[in-house]
Structures are given as structure tokens and as C-alpha cells.
Amino acid sequence: MKVGVLALQGAFARHVRVLADLGATAVEVRTAGDLADVDALVLPGGESTTMSMLLDSSGLRGPVADRIADGLPVLGTCAGMILLATRVADGRSDQRSFGAIDLDVRRNGYGRQVDSFEADLDVTGLDEPFHGVFIRAPVVERVGDGVEVLAAVDGQPVLCRQGRVVVAAFHPEMSGDDRIHGRFLDLAFAA
């Protein structure tokens, strides 16, 4: 199991640690060559407009889009959710997303840094609540027909899946709980 973590900006180091602790070979992805060797990919939290620009300047946007279109399993957290959504509100006019999951999201929809919060989430398939850490989190404004909502806060989807794409509005790598990453690995490497 070789899992890449996009390492252009954002919270990539914690994802690498969690994946390694679960037994995956976790590698930082900074080039198309790095990406070519992975069997799954994590798009971490960070600043989505900056990440979008760095995907362009690094030459990674096309290769990432191609791998996702070819069925590469991908987990997007916070900014990663924004990058994978179909439509993004409150982004820069030149910000582009991959359209890998049929969601409309609003950047920083829960508010600014001071509005960050934590919540215990009832996640489909988990026996115990998962502690979600929300930092300038995106809000899901529309869920497409083929998208499964796996967790919500006050009726608002915060963890979703469509095929081999999983997105979270929160930061599971900051919870001290590896179950979201574990479920992603199960999905990515199911026989």
C-alpha cells in the first residue's frame, strides 16, 4: 500500500504519520514522478487557493486530474474537500477544483479562524463517535445524487463519499484517532 500525500502546502506531515502508523507506505507528493508511484492519494487541509495555484505552478494539476479520472482513490480533508468538489463558492476567480465528487462547497463556510470548533461525529460504519476538528472549515451547500453522507453536524454534511473519493470538512489527522484514515485505506485497497 503506497499512499501519496500532496505536500505542496498545508497539513501533510500529520497525514503521512497517521498513514505510516496504519502500516501504509506514505510518501510526500511534490512532482508528477512522485504521483506516478502511488496507489492512493490524500489532499490535505491548508489554504485551498494557495494549493490550487501550487498545483498549477508545480505542473501537478494535470497528472492529479488524470489519476483521479482513472479511478485513483483519494481522500480530501478541509482544503482537500474544496479541491475535489464540483463547485466552490467564495474562492478566487481563478481557483479550479477537480470536480471529483458531486458537491458544492463554500470556503470557510463555518467562519474565520476564531470560529473553529470541535465536535463528536456519528460516522456511518463506526461504533463510537469520531472527534472532528474543524478549522476554517468548508460548508457543503449541495450534495449530488450519487454522494453518500457519512457524517453531519447539525444536519450539515461533513464527511462524504462518492465511489473511491472521500472528503471531510474537518481534519481527521488532528484527532488522535486513525479510523477515518483506516476506512479510507480499506476502501482504497479492497480486493
Q: Does the active-site annotation cover 160?
A: no
Per annotation, catalytic residue among 15, 160, 171, 181: 171
Residue 37, phi then psi, degrees to nearest 5: -95, 0
Q: Which residues contact 117 (CB under 8 A, 6 or more apart)?
A: 110, 134
Of the residues 15, 160, 173, 181, only one is catalytic, namely 173
Active site residue 171: yes
Cα(157)–Cα(42) distance, rounded to whole angstroms? 20
Annotated catalytic residue within 15, 78, 160, 181? 78
Neighbours of 164 (CB within 10 A): 17
Q: By the 8 A CB rule, do 31 and 61 touch?
A: no
The owner of cell 489532499 is 43
CA 124, 127, 128, 130 torsion: positive or negative?
negative
Specify whether 173 is catalytic: yes
**Residue 13: enclosing H or E segment and its boundaries?**
helix 12-21
What does the angle CA 188 – CA 52 – CA 138 come to, to the nearest 5 degrees?
Answer: 70
State the Cα–Cα distance between residues 138 and 104, nearest whole angstrom. 10
The residues assigned a catalytic role are 78, 171, 173
